[in-house]
Structure 1
Amino acid sequence: MRFLDQQFKHLVPYVPGEQNATEKIIKLNTNENPYDPPQAVIEAAKDAAQTLSRYSDPTCKEVIVPLAKHLKVAPENIFLGNGSDEILSFLFQGFMEKGVQFPDITYGFYRVYSDLFHLTATEIPLRDDLSIELADYQGTETVVIANPNAPTGIALHPEVIGAFASQHPERLIIVDEAYSDFSDVSMVPYLSKHPNVLVVGTFSKSRHLAGGRLGYAVGASEIINDLNTLKFSHNPYSVNAMTLACGAASLASQDYVDESTQKIIDTRTWTIQALRELAFDVTDSQGNFVFAQHATIAGEKLFLALKEKHILVRWFNQPRIANYLRISIGTQSEMEQLIQVLKEEVQP
């Protein structure tokens, strides 16, 4: 800290989920896709490696054009970045002059970016059932919500968000849809009616590219142009050539992506039922994870017991959710092993 500016010494950085390369670990703590990328993505990465002596295309058209077609929007309505985290960084840096509001229990980077850019940030408490109530978001600040929310997995219907956006046309509403492909709640089809709504998405979850770092934003061309101004003032080549090739190949492999996504949804349904049979209270998650607390056993105790059995899940030592575990959906076999270990812990 000797040379760090005083203005940054207060920062509390985001803490990622534990990364463990041990083959014996069942990794259910970072909401990654448990299935391999499409073979076309792997081949595209190999081919793109031959071009690494050249800069990547800063316009990112290789991905933007097919992504626009997939989302049924115009290319000028899409922005690409180095993961959705980079896009969120630009948004917090450049679109929060009047401050920002977001839930008190949500993606941790919202607080980190607020502190990093010295923003006036207000955390709005979730309701007792851990749901977001947009009526609580009064004022003129930019609003950021994850939908489905993380770590709860609970989602708002797009019409609810649209109604709120219509009531507050002077406010920017950012909807972080990292997990929307595992639900039916995307705001993208409604964006033409709500120019003050911006959707942020990622290729990390349903598209198997967490390690590739590719994110996107969808919204009015005016907002997209402003995002490009920030990007080209920071790093026009932030999306590398291999990632662009992989993103394009993923979009060309939609059948495989849809099949993998459906397997995760089916396994999520099975897991929720199995947990409830073991006396867990489980939210109605629409993400690629579940959020559960046991009726009598503390979350930390279960977290440590699972880790001892080489199963990693996420435990948040925070008020209101300290007894919950966020459990990523793995393969069916992995989730069956999880349930077996939990049975041994919770049943006498």
Structure 2
Amino acid sequence: MSRYWSEVVHGLTPYVPGEQPMIAGLIKLNTNECPYGPSLRVLQAIREAATEDLRLYPDPEARALKDAIAVHHGLQGEQVFVGNGSDEVLAHVFQALLKHDAPLLFPDISYSFYPVYARLYDMATRLMPLRDDFSLGVDDYLQVGRDGRVGGIIFPNPNAPTGMALALAEVQRLLTGFPDAVVVVDEAYVDFGAQSAAALIDRHPNLLVVRTLSKARALAGLRVGYALGHVDLIEALVRVKDSFNSYPLDRLAIAGGVAAMQDEAWFERTRALITASRGKLVAGLQQLGFEVLPSAANFVFARHPRHAGTELAAKLREQRILVRHFRQPERIAPFLRITVGTEAQCEALLLALADILQPASALR
């Protein structure tokens, strides 16, 4: 601590990102990155954008990228907001749309950046416990709305770290039940098996959908995120953005993002590979005795009845395989969150787990 810190800094507990070790030869299944390289069209677009024009500021509106995103979702450019990764987009969402006197509702087991933003902006919150099967209970939220005021709702769909998805009809129930509150659906993982709420935007002015190019478009290193919603919601985000940083996306990110949104063939092929690998990974884990929650994401959430999550994560690390383990909340401490890698990576993980669970001495 320093006497020069602002008062707000003393009360912060920052988000802890997934480990990014600079060690060759690791099988890295801890941060839900795409196991395949980005579209070749993206790489070509970035190369073509790397000219002497880098001396000039990028388009502060990123209009070419907004238009490409709008075309993909069947919306207008004015219904799109872009930012430096979906985390920055979410930061603006919290400040522009979710900071009210009434509490913000979000699941107790969810993306751990949400409480960080809430503390940063000194927001009232209410954690909504997931049900015993780790599903999100829409009726629980509606009951809170009947009992008192709600400042907003945010949740990932599919949820993180569970990977479980909420059906589109249930999302619509939330939107209808809270017409005076913004409902934010964080769809970082939606492309791997869930239904996007983007189709509901024109019917619900209180809906904001947040998405990223980091997962299904393999651009975690480029940092491109976006939001979709009614023009009034988008305007609020732009006002906050332009009070913070008018140029969140550089020329290379805009060019790469446009190419990524336009290469539908690469997108469909890659997510098909990942979902196929997920099915095989789930089957392999179940054969080893793991309980695996139903996943619509590019990761699985699994626990073994006889081995602690901490123990398994540490032993996998000894074999140069990284997975993610969360100590808190206590309810999920037994679980491992495992990114779906290539088939070879998933096979290596399963072999390592088999070795850990059935040591050579037990086989003699």
- Alpha-carbon contact 2:78-2:234 (below 8 Å) kept: yes
Tell me, what secondary structure is at the counterpart of 2:220?
coil
Amino acid at match of 1:220: H
**What are the superposed Cα offsets for residues 87-128 of structure 1, whole Å, 9 maximum, x if unpaired?**
110111122213311111110110100000110111111111
Superposed, 1:40-189 pairs within 5 Å as: 40-50=41-51, 51-95=53-97, 96-97=99-100, 98-137=102-141, 138-139=144-145, 140-189=150-199
Q: Which amino acid aligns with 1:108?
A: S
Q: Which amino acid aligns with 2:39?
A: P
Match of 1:31 in 2: 32
Q: What's the counterpart of residue 271 of structure 2?
A: 261
Report the Cα distance in structure 2 between the residues aligned to 1:327 and 1:262, rounded to whole angstroms: 18
Q: For residue 334 of structure 1, report the CA deviation from its aligned partner.
A: 0.3
Aligned residue type for 2:327:
N
1:8 Cα deviation after fit? 2.1
Quote the Cα distance in structure 2 between the aligned partners of 1:187 and 1:263.
24
Instruction: Tell me which residue corresponds to 2:342.
Output: 331
Q: What are the Cα deviations for residues 188-238 of structure 1, in whole angstroms up to 9, with x where unaligned?
A: 112212111110000000001101110010010110111111111111101
Match of 2:213 in 1: 203
Could you tell me which amino acid in structure 2 is paired with residue 70 of structure 1? Answer: H
Query: What secondary structure, in the 3-state scheme, does the structure 1 residue paired with 2:78 have?
Result: helix
1:40-86: per-residue Cα shift (whole Å, max 9, x none)? Answer: 11121122221221111111111111111111111111111111111
Structure 1 position 275 matched with structure 2 position 285: yes
Greater shift, 193-202 or 96-105, is seen at: 96-105
CA distance in 2, matches of 1:158, 1:195: 16
Superposed CA RMSD: 1.0
TM-score, length-scaled by structure 1? 0.98
SS in 1 for 2:50: helix
State the alpha-carbon separation in 1 of the partners of residues 125 and 96 from structure 2. 14
Partner residue, 1:312: 322
Say if 2:92 and 2:237, in contact at 8 Å, map to a contact too. yes
Distance in 2, Cα, partners of 1:251 & 1:102: 30
Aligned residues: 348
Residue 214 of structure 1 is matched in structure 2 by 224
Give distance in 1, aligned partners of 2:207 and 2:116.
22
**Structure 2: distance between partners of 1:211 and 1:143:** 29
**Which residue, out of 202, 205, 208, partners 1:192?**
202
Secondary structure at the residue paired with 1:52? helix
Cα distance in structure 1, aligned partners of 2:6 and 2:241: 24
Whichever residue aligns with residue 14 of structure 1, its letter is Y
- 2: CA distance between counterparts of 1:113 and 1:13? 9
TM-score scaled to structure 2, two decimals?
A: 0.94
The residue aligned with 1:250 is: 260
Matched to 2:230, the amino acid is A
CA distance in 2 between counterparts of 1:8 and 1:144 reads: 24
Q: Secondary structure in 2 aligned to 1:290?
A: strand
1:342 is the counterpart of 2:361: no
In the alignment, the residues of structure 2 paired with residue 268 and residue 206 of structure 1 have an alpha-carbon distance, to the nearest angstrom, of 14
1:299 — aligned with what? Answer: 309
Q: Which moved more, 1:135-144 or 1:13-22?
A: 135-144
Residue identity opposite 1:129 in structure 2: D
Stretches of structure 1 lacking an aligned partner (at least 5 in a row): none
* Counterparts of 1:128 and 1:236, CA distance in 2: 44
Q: Indicate if the aligned counterparts of 2:138 and 2:174 stay in contact, CA closer than 8 A.
A: yes
